[in-house]
């Protein structure tokens, strides 16, 4: 049986966050957030810039010490069990985090080594992913010579090689062309079909609306709404026909946005 399915069946909730609080001096970056991510779902984490998304993600990855609350990944605390938690997570950052001096092949060999993966299986999987993302021709190229989009492909493959139970994706489709974006979405669906889960942070509302099982919207460090798209419509009193409109309403940005648009309409543009 696939390890991803076998190991995940014990836990209905891959991630459980309770009353998460993180302060930076007098700034409450995250102020009492609670949510969970179930096995086999894509959970969207949305919020304006500065809402607390990055702090929440760093807490899940075990990069921050909390003021209050708890983070649980498959029964493990990321602060007290950092190595075991990292075994369960694949992380894709908004900006590719790769060793620029290594080739693509060396990068995957390095990952296989530190994660103690079977080198033949890791190499086979890497080649299959590279082929599906039309990047196999870069296998022996140095990372720093690649375009941003191709670096993003390598980072995504790197996050998948050890078949993690949880994928944490921060703007994963940034810099990718339409075909590659489509393939990444297919890979995401395959991941959850195998029993894994995904935390997706994105600014692109259409992506969240189309991909996510449930969505959590945070603003000023607090969770202001959570649910399926249909449930969010109800919470927002059906003021929006799409997630973007609902998002602006729930984060109190719609009134300000409308006023800015009206101000722009009054501008006189000199075309002489």
With tokens 């994706």, the residue in question is 169
- Return d(Cα 268, Cα 4) in angstroms, integer: 59
Name the residue range of residue 164's domain: 3-265
Q: What 3-state class would DSSP assign to 116?
A: coil
pLDDT of residue 272: 54
- Report the CATH number that the domain containing residue 135 is assigned in CATH: 3.40.50.300
Q: Is the pLDDT of residue 4 over 60?
A: no
Q: How far lies 180's CA from each of 96, 108, 208, 210, in Å?
A: 16, 20, 17, 17
Note whether residue 29 is domain-resident: yes
User: Can you list the positions of beta strands (E) in 74-221?
Assistant: 89-92, 166-170, 197-201, 214-219
- Return d(Cα 229, Cα 210) in angstroms, integer: 9
Note whether residue 270 is domain-resident: no
Our count of domains for the chain comes to 1
Q: How far lies 82's CA from each of 1, 73, 163, in Å?
A: 26, 10, 18
Note whether residue 178 is domain-resident: yes
Note whether residue 179 is domain-resident: yes
Note whether residue 36 is domain-resident: yes
Note whether residue 271 is domain-resident: no
As a whole number, the mean pLDDT across the chain is: 88
pLDDT of residue 239: 57
Residue 82, both tokens: 């950092």
Note whether residue 167 is domain-resident: yes
Q: What 3-state class would DSSP assign to 138?
A: helix
pLDDT digit string (tens) for 137-163?
Answer: 999 999 999 999 999 999 999 999 999
Residue 50: pLDDT band with limits 50, 70, 90: confident
- Which residues lie closer than 8 Å to 250 by C-beta, 6 or more apart? 217, 219, 224, 225, 232, 235, 236
pLDDT digit string (tens) for 83-117?
Answer: 999 999 999 998 888 999 999 999 999 999 999 99
Task: Tell me the whole-structure pTM to 2 decimals.
Answer: 0.86
- Return d(Cα 180, Cα 191) in angstroms, integer: 16
């Amino acid at each position: 049986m696939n390890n991803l399915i076998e190991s995940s069946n014990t836990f209905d909730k891959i991630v459980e966050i309770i009353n998460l609080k993180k302060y930076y001096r007098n700034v409450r970056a995250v102020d009492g957030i609670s949510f969970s991510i179930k096995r086999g779902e894509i959970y969207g984490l949305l919020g304006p810039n500065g809402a607390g998304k990055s702090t929440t993600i760093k807490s899940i990855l075990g990069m921050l010490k909390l003021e209050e609350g708890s983070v649980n990944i498959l029964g493990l605390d990321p602060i007290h069990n950092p190595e075991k938690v990292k075994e369960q997570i694949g992380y894709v950052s908004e900006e590719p985090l790769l060793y620029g001096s290594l080739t693509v092949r060396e990068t995957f060999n390095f990952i296989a080594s530190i994660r103690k993966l079977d080198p033949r299986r890791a190499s086979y999987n890497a080649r299959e992913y590279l082929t599906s993302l039309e990047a196999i021709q870069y296998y022996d190229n140095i990372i720093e010579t690649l375009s941003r989009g191709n670096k993003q492909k390598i980072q995504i493959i790197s996050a998948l090689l050890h078949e993690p139970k949880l994928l944490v994706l921060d703007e994963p489709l940034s810099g990718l062309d339409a075909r590659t974006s489509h393939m990444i979405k297919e890979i995401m669906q395959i991941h959850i079909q195998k029993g894994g889960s995904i935390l997706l942070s994105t600014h692109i509302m259409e992506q969240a609306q189309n991909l996510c099982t449930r969505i959590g919207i945070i603003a000023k460090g607090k969770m202001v709404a959570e649910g399926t798209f249909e449930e969010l419509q109800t919470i927002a009193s059906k003021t929006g026909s799409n997630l973007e409109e609902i998002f602006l309403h729930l984060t109190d940005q719609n009134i300000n946005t409308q006023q800015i648009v009206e101000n722009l309409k009054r501008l006189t543009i000199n075309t002489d």
